[in-house]
A and B are shown apart, each in its own frame.
Chain A
Amino acid sequence: MAGVAPPGTGTGSGIYRGNGPRLMLPVWAFIGIFLVLPVLLMAVYSFLTKEFRGGVIWDPTLAAYDKFFLDRGLFGDEPPVIEWTYIGIFWRSIWQAGLATLFCLVIGFPTAWFIATRDVRTRSAWLFLVTIPYWVNLLIRTVSMKFLIRDTGPLNEFLLWTGVVDGPLGLVNTNLAVQIGLFYSYLPFMVLPIYAAVERYDFALSEAAADLYAGAWTTLRLVILPVVRPGIVAGCILVFVPSLGAFLAPDLLGGAKTFMIGSLIEEQFKGAAGNWPFGAAASMILLSIVLGVLLLYARSQAKGAR
């Protein structure tokens, strides 16, 4: 058999781990055309000169990256200092995406746990409920969320009617509104992988921990969380990455104050005011950050496994 896998450690090692290279050909072709090629294109564009009505001129330059990191004054003739505008937007976006990931984890883990511990027959019904919002377009869902939480929307009307608050909350155009939007958009991406991990979790491990004098919290911390960690990590990546590039929630729910990376990039490719090389450069920087984080994680994993 072609493509014998290297001797592995742990379960699932052996010759069945690798597939023959010929079988993998369509996969590589697919990845090449739809993943590598676009990224290469973007990388190339980020080093070209912008055209005024959108598009690029084939004239290599570092102008896009220069514009991102350095401030050379209004006419570009002053000594360069660091440009904080875009770094600030990036930083705020990372912070927002991280926070959204945390909220999704805090709510998503118990939800996934709940579903995975239901009767086998009712589990798929619960999973279906979690994914129902996905049958509706993200734009429509985000707009609907705005209607729900705006000052004259049902949420505020209800709270005013019950007397919990005596003025509207003023949620729209705040960071909190963006958080609500991101949370609502990406929660299932957290629930599903954690569900898959918990479903495979062997509850005899919890019994063994209790048998060895571990209380409920110790068992959660020392046994359950480490064992289902791959699911948690997958969920966090699946929420963090799209949150970082999101533009619908920040645009519609956050307004100008909560401008995020996604909106910044989107603007560069829209209409005559756009700047394709700059948009491509910002995308490349975003991509580097994401890859960097993933790489760091992979490193720590490799070190952790003895």
Chain B
Amino acid sequence: MAQVDSSGGIGIAVDVDDVVKRYGTLTALHGVSFDIRDGEFFTLLGPSGCGKTTLLRCIAGFEEVSGGAIRLHGEDIARLPPHRRQVNTVFQQYALFPHMDVLANVMFGLLRRGWTRRDATARAREVLALVRLADFAERRPAQLSGGQQQRVALARALAPGPQVLLLDEPLSALDLKLRQAVRVELKQIQRETDIAFVFVTHDQEEALTMSDRIAVMSDGRVQQIGTPREVYEAPVNRFVAGFIGETNLLDVAIRSVDGSRAEVLLPGGRPFACAAAAPVAAGPGHLSVRPERIELVAAGEGDLTATVRDHVYLGTDIQLHARLADDEAVVVRIQNAAGSAIPERGAEIGLKLEAGAARLLTD
């Protein structure tokens, strides 16, 4: 459902343009900007208090922005009240109307938009079927399980066919098993409806598995926007590298720079060639290497030498905690395959960094 916006660009559903939000002296959003395409699953990921909910509430209209513009298919909506924006929200605690049955909940938005009762009923039943709740139309929200309530909230928000659907940690009230099942369902429904989703979470696994693109936020700023693969494999700074997945950040000295490639000296003094996240100059830097991108080799070989401190058994993997000569901690993940040799505590080991997987970061 690609739509043409007023500026002629194709398929920008939401354009968040330098949005600032202040609560008194506290600035919750410091000029946030990004575009969300039609039909895209876009995730806002960040730690607690980084401003995800605030941003979502600004798009929905529950908070007034202190600066900047929010455009919905080209039209600036930043100053419209919530009921005038073609945007619907799935609330974290669902906020289902307790005095109405499921069908009436789903019909609510349709009736407000001027649908006839007959058409609204038909449409509501259709959406309930989509979320697999067709048999629950006559129940009250209090008579449903958490997962069913969550799907009613989704159906209620989807029914009017919003240009964008906002979801604020919609899975956080569900238990782990259900959460994983609903993840798949949610993604499927998003593909079927082809509506742009803005999904808020602080769970990086959720973000990685569901999103087309992720905006990683911290302290009211967007740190990086990219596909799950980009933010995981090519983080732009230490915050992103550390927040998404696990990583080792080694203190290195940058020796020479050639475009986006650099040569650094590793702890222990060996040289290593790697890609830099941003233009760098000679001086101190940080090398980010994922634990699963480090290979175990014999002591004295490879790029680093370390001493094993501890193992953590993870089932499919084994996590090895080791220390370098300068006491820096390094984590290595090795597969728990038949015949994998697990070094003893206190053993000296060599570590080989996968050349393409290490990133040089400066901030």
Residues of A within 8 A of B (CB): 9-11, 202, 204-205, 207-215, 218, 222-223, 226-227, 229, 306
Name the B residues within 8 Å of A218 (CB-CB). 112
Can you list 28 A-B contacts with CB-CB less than 8 angstroms, sorted by A residue number? A9-B143, A11-B142, A202-B93, A204-B91, A204-B93, A205-B97, A205-B98, A207-B62, A208-B91, A208-B95, A208-B96, A210-B61, A210-B62, A210-B81, A210-B82, A210-B83, A211-B60, A211-B109, A212-B109, A212-B156, A213-B84, A213-B113, A213-B160, A214-B83, A215-B83, A226-B99, A227-B97, A306-B140
Smallest CB gap from A211: residue in B: B89
20 extra interface residue pairs, beta carbon distance < 8 Å, beyond A211-B60, A218-B112: A9-B142, A10-B140, A10-B143, A202-B93, A204-B91, A204-B93, A204-B95, A205-B95, A205-B98, A207-B82, A210-B61, A211-B83, A211-B88, A211-B157, A212-B83, A212-B108, A213-B160, A215-B83, A227-B97, A306-B140
Name the B residues within 8 Å of A214 (CB-CB). 83, 108, 112
Name the B residues within 8 Å of A215 (CB-CB). 83
Most buried by B among A9, A10, A11, A213: A213
Smallest CB gap from A204: residue in B: B95
Question: Contacting A227 at CB < 8 Å: which of B61, B98, B142, B156?
Answer: B98
Name the B residues within 8 Å of A204 (CB-CB). 91, 93, 95
Contact A306–B138 (Cβ < 8 Å)? yes
Closest 10 CB pairs of A and B: A212-B109, A213-B112, A204-B95, A208-B95, A210-B82, A10-B142, A226-B99, A211-B89, A213-B83, A210-B83
Smallest CB gap from A218: residue in B: B112
Contact B112–A212 (Cβ < 8 Å)? yes
CB distance from A267 to the nearest CB of B (A): 45
Question: Contacting B160 at CB < 8 Å: which of A9, A205, A212, A226?
Answer: A212
Q: What is the count of residue pairs linking A and B with beta-carbon distances less than 8 angstroms?
A: 73
Name the B residues within 8 Å of A210 (CB-CB). 61-62, 81-83
Name the A residues within 8 Å of B101 (CB-CB). 306
Q: How far is the CA of A222 from the CA of B112 in the complex (A)?
A: 11
| Residue total for B at the interface (Cβ-Cβ under 8 A) | 29
Smallest CB gap from A206: residue in B: B95
Q: How far is the CA of A213 from the CA of B88 in the complex (A)?
A: 9
Smallest CB gap from B92: residue in A: A204
Q: Which of B25-72 contact A (CB under 8 A)?
A: 60-62
Q: How far is the CA of A209 from the CA of B99 in the complex (A)?
A: 13
CB distance from B162 to the nearest CB of A (A): 9
Smallest CB gap from A205: residue in B: B95
Question: Contacting B109 at CB < 8 Å: which of A10, A213, A226, A306?
Answer: A213
Smallest CB gap from B82: residue in A: A210
Chain B 74-111 interface 0/1 with A at a Cβ cutoff of 8 Å (1 = within): 00000001111001110101011111010000001100
Q: How far is the CA of A10 from the CA of B142 in the complex (A)?
A: 5
Q: How far is the CA of A306 from the CA of B97 in the complex (A)?
A: 14
Q: How far is the CA of A250 from the CA of B73 in the complex (A)?
A: 65
CB distance from A303 to the nearest CB of B (A): 14
Name the B residues within 8 Å of A202 (CB-CB). 93, 95
Smallest CB gap from B106: residue in A: A212
Name the A residues within 8 Å of B113 (CB-CB). 213
Smallest CB gap from A227: residue in B: B99
CB distance from A136 to the nearest CB of B (A): 39
Name the A residues within 8 Å of B108 (CB-CB). 209, 212, 214, 222
